[in-house]
Chain A
């Protein structure tokens, strides 16, 4: 088994799953491109986390991490909850496989964002949920860092190099027609209703 017993226990019996319709703070991180997405809901009373709920789309590690974070944060003061680190979560779970460590980053981040969201609201700010920056995982290959930092330098379908980015409509290697997403600037196959990277709607190109 690639996971510890503790991870499997939290995966099989996750604590505090769900949403809080009257949450005092909501934090969301991740996106389906990197695999995981987590939303944390918190209820605050007397400076303490009175209730914590989460929802997670992701692998076993992502689900276990969210569950563990919710358990560690429950009934703690906001300061104590903000002090929960990624390392601490992984440690409590008895360790995570190396390539799953980024999941533990997501869990604490989502909780911290929910607290930040609560504080913003308390300060008279927005009622909207707080959304995290796109989280970055360790670049696996050259080029991935460049992709994460903005413009894709490779075709998302065949990894072929994309040249002449300005007027690009077709990957020179696999010849898939590509369109640039108006929202995130990455390339998606023409005809897709939404960007496969950020999910933004892509208007259909006029037939030429």
Chain B
């Protein structure tokens, strides 16, 4: 059976040329970039080139890029590093209620060392209102962090407006752009942010290659203490192959951006219209127009997400879900609850992330396979039986 992989959120395959670019640094070019000898300097120039590519993708300068091991590490470094470096100014932080757990839990950790936080609520489409962010800012606020796009529901947030509001009050702004960079055009100057997290495994680069942009002149405390790597802002020997792979993926993303974005959006709309049109009581989650081009997510009422994933998997499709049953902690997604959906609806979460190898035929196959999968599960569901009873008294 042909497998159709629609779980971009969990990570992408590698773009053509990425493995080839990385391979020498597992082999002959094994030098440490910090070494002065020829072997070391070969690695150093590969890292420098990758830094240029990543910077170019987001319109930053190379010195503003700190390589990290993951988006999670970049978010931790941003939150803790910026909050602690600016503690003299204040101890209050502002986030949206739909941030990734690496932001929310880093914030919780900062609370233990004396910081206070305000979570800005979101509307039904997970959109953050810049006016709400502005209201949450106090005299002692040092940092606002709002994600550029939410991978679970696809919504793209008005970060430029949020940054403008925060900057007018002299507050630093970080954005978790892990789901966005490489998939939509991102320009840190246009956004006006001071820090931005990105990860290569969301745009056809390798796992282990990620970065934090920190605007020149902004102070940040390292969260991995060590040597002078990354300008003393992140210790540890550089993961040269992953960094090279990230640089190559950044180069490909920049070259393919306009074409990729338009093609993805077309397929995404085909999928959204197809699923909404083929099964009743399916709700699109997130914003319809302010949306990542490769993301389509839904709530399918009266059925549970994990059961859908297993059924789709048996039919050859890989997707994901934010349902409580699919999480190891058996908790409903904080994103769905913050959007105001009840637990029963949130349990029916189904998330698709398209790849640039996804075809129109793949989408058609999914739209055809979907109704019988849902029909089978609904026939088993006491919630659906109850619903039908109420409808026909």
A contacts, CB < 8 Å to B: 3, 8, 11-12, 14, 17, 19, 28, 32-39, 55-63, 99, 102, 137, 140-141, 156-160, 173-176, 189, 191-192, 194, 196-197, 199
A176 touches B121 (CB 8 A): yes
Query: Helix, strand, loop or mixed for chain A's interface?
Result: loop
Which stretch (B18-26, B249-257, B306-314) binds chain A?
A: B306-314
B118 to chain A: which residues have CB within 8 Å?
173-175
Residue of B nearest to A55 (CB): B382
Q: Which of B119, B323, B329, B342 contacts A175 (CB 8 A)?
A: B119
Q: Is the CB of A59 within 8 A of B121?
A: no
Given A59-B307, A157-B338, decide whether A14 and B380 contact each other with a Cβ distance below 8 A: yes
Q: Which of B97, B307, B340, B383 contacts A37 (CB 8 A)?
A: B383
Indicate with 1 or 0, residue by residue over B309-347, a CB within 8 angstroms of chain A CB atoms.
Answer: 010001000000001111011111010011010111001
The residue that B310 contacts in the complex, of A11, A32, A102, with Cβ under 8 A, is A11
Take A39-B382, A189-B340 as given contacts and tell me if A160 and B304 are in contact as well, using a CB distance cutoff of 8 Å: no
B384: which A residues are within 8 A, CB to CB? 57
- A-contacting residues, B288-308, CB 8 Å: 302-307
> B35 contacts the other chain (Cβ, under 8 Å)?
no
A142 → chain B, closest Cβ, in Å?
13
The answer to whether residues A192 and B119 also contact, given A35-B304, A58-B304, A157-B97 and a CB cut-off of 8 A, is: no
By the criterion CB–CB under 8 Å, are B382 and A12 in contact?
A: no
**Residue numbers in A under 8 Å from B347 (CB-CB):** 32, 35, 57
Check A32/B344 contact, CB under 8 A, given A140-B330, A157-B337: yes
For residue A34, which residues in chain B have a CB less than 8 angstroms away from its CB? 324, 330
Cβ contacts under 8 Å, B314 to chain A: 12
| Interface flags, B367-393, vs A, CB<8A=1, else 0 | 000000000000111111100000000
Point out the residues of chain A lying under 8 angstroms from B97, CB to CB: 157-158, 174, 176
Known: A56-B380, A60-B310. A35 touches B334 (CB 8 A): no
B383 touches A60 (CB 8 A): no
B381, A56: Cβ atoms under 8 Å?
yes
B binding-site residues for A, Cβ under 8 Å: 97, 117-121, 136, 302-307, 310, 314, 323-326, 328-332, 334, 337-338, 340, 342-344, 347, 379-385
From residue B26, how far is it (CB to closest CB) to chain A in Å?
A: 31
Residues of A within 8 A of B136 (CB): 175
**Is there an interface contact between B379 and A57, defined as CB atoms closer than 8 Å?**
no
Among all A-B residue pairs, the 3 with the closest Cβ atoms: A174-B119, A32-B344, A59-B325
CB of A32 within 8 A of CB of B343, answer: yes
Identify which of B307, B329, B334, B383 contacts A32 (C-beta below 8 A): B383
What is the minimal beta-carbon distance from B50 to any residue of chain A, in angstroms?
Answer: 36
A57-B330 CB under 8 A given contacts A32-B343, A39-B382: no
Residues of B within 8 A of A141 (CB): 329
Whole-angstrom CA separation of A174 from B340 in the bound complex = 13
Partner among B119, B305, B329, B343 whose Cβ is within 8 Å of the Cβ of A158: B119
Would A63 and B380 be within 8 Å (CB), given that A57-B304, A140-B329, A157-B97 are in contact? yes
Given A32-B344, A39-B382, A176-B121, verify A58-B334 contact (CB < 8 Å): no
A30 to chain B, nearest CB (A): 9
- Which of B306, B328, B342 sits near A59, CB closer than 8 Å? B306
Interface contact B302-A33, CB-CB below 8 Å: no
21 example contacts (A-B, Cβ-Cβ < 8 A) are as follows A28-B382, A32-B342, A32-B343, A32-B344, A35-B304, A35-B324, A37-B382, A37-B383, A38-B382, A55-B381, A59-B323, A60-B310, A62-B325, A140-B329, A157-B337, A158-B334, A159-B334, A176-B121, A176-B338, A192-B340, A194-B342
A59 with B338: CB separation less than 8 A: no
A34 to B332, CA, bound (A): 8
Q: Is the CB of A197 within 8 A of B119?
A: no
Instruction: Give B341's nearest chain A residue, CB to CB.
Output: A196
A77 to B162, CA, bound (A): 66
Name the distance in Å between A55's Cβ and chain B's nearest Cβ.
4
* Chain A nearest Cβ from B386, distance in angstroms: 9
| Complex CA distance for A1 and B150, rounded to whole angstroms | 28
B347 to A, closest residue via Cβ:
A32
- Measured CA separation A59–B305 after assembly (Å): 7
Chain A residues, CB < 8 A from B120 = 174-175
- A36–B303 CA distance with the chains assembled, in angstroms: 10
Chain B neighbourhood of A191, CB < 8 A:
340
Q: Complex: how many Å from CA A201 to CA B342?
A: 13
Q: A17 — which chain B residues lie within 8 A by C-beta?
A: 379-380
Query: Closest CB of chain A to B301's CB: distance in Å?
Result: 10
What B residues does A3 contact at CB under 8 A? 310
- Give complex CA distance A57, B331 in Å: 16
Q: Are B121 and A19 in contact (CB under 8 A)?
A: no
A196 vs B331: C-alpha distance when bound (angstroms): 13
Q: In angstroms, how far is the closest chain B Cβ from the Cβ of A154?
A: 12
